[in-house]
A and B are shown apart, each in its own frame.
Chain A
Amino acid sequence: QKEVEQDPGPLSVPEGAIVSLNCTYSNSAFQYFMWYRQYSRKGPELLMYTYSSGNKEDGRFTAQVDKSSKYISLFIRDSQPSDSATYLCAMSAVTGGGNKLTFGTGTQLKVEL
């Protein structure tokens, strides 16, 4: 079993839809949770950063963390064609060896006109 599971998609939605992207994880030591957006042929771009459980909102994006269920989500409201990209979840634990990131495989999102 992978430490982080993420549905690879592709996920296709109409413009204006609410998008829900999810990851599950198995390591209960994970404390920091991130979402990256990666456009084709580009490096990952940090989108959201959350510590421990709870919600965080930034414009059209909301990140949720449910540590009891080991489940994180990214919601995109009023999705736009420019949101079409691959979304990667990442997480890390507080360890003495440094906070290494463990990534999901990414979900490919396409927002259609």
Chain B
Amino acid sequence: QQQVKQSPQSLIVQKGGISIINCAYENTAFDYFPWYQQFPGKGPALLIAIRPDVSEKKEGRFTISFNKSAKQFSLHIMDSQPGDSATYFCAASMLNSGAGSYQLTFGKGTKLSVIP
């Protein structure tokens, strides 16, 4: 029930196209859904995140769509660029109020390649 399922495993998109990565979760107690971008040899970098009280959040070319009833959320990258080529991880978290901790549960990642 703690799992976050991410698809696809890999994605090839042409420059200028739209990249779409999907995630699904089961635990309805999750209340924070971030996306992380990871370049080879680097740590995950927080890209964009959403709370379940909104259905969409947009930051520049990156948009999260959130469907609470379906327990799904997705990352859309508009006008994809070769510099966007990286591994993208979705994650989910809930506050452990007793511990004051927000443990992140990650998806398995999507390797995005944007070709010129």
Is B truly associated with A? no
